[in-house]
Amino acid sequence: MHPSKVDRNRLTLLTDLPNIGKACAEDLRLLGILEPQQLIGKNPYELFEALCKKTGMKIDPCMLDTFISITRFMDGEAPQTWWHYSDERKQTWRGTT
């Protein structure tokens, strides 16, 4: 969902999260995340590494930006576009995949 349309009071489906559509929701389910509340307190870098390992693929780092956006949102920050976090990721993540 586009961050401008997110309603924090209506978070039932994974697609209710900012930047999450059907494909990203499937990636989250692959990691055992079935509802938005399960993201509270999660480390986005660990989620990303787990997704790469689970799929056996080198996933585009933009997915890490998306994971940062949704974990931060679920920890109380305002909804942001995934690319809002790209500079942060580029400065902090060295990636092992």
* Amino acid occupying residue 51: L
Q: Is the pLDDT of residue 96 over 70?
A: no
* Mean pLDDT value of segment 68-78: 97
Give the per-residue pLDDT at 94: 80
How much of the chain exceeds pLDDT 70, in percent?
98
For the purposes of burial, counting CB atoms within 10 Å of the CB of 42, is it exposed (0-12), middle (13-18) or buried (19 or more)?
A: middle
Per-residue DSSP letters for 26-68? HHHHHTT--SGGGGTT--HHHHHHHHHHHHTS---THHHHHHH
* Mean pLDDT value of segment 34-53: 97
* pLDDT, the chain, mean: 95
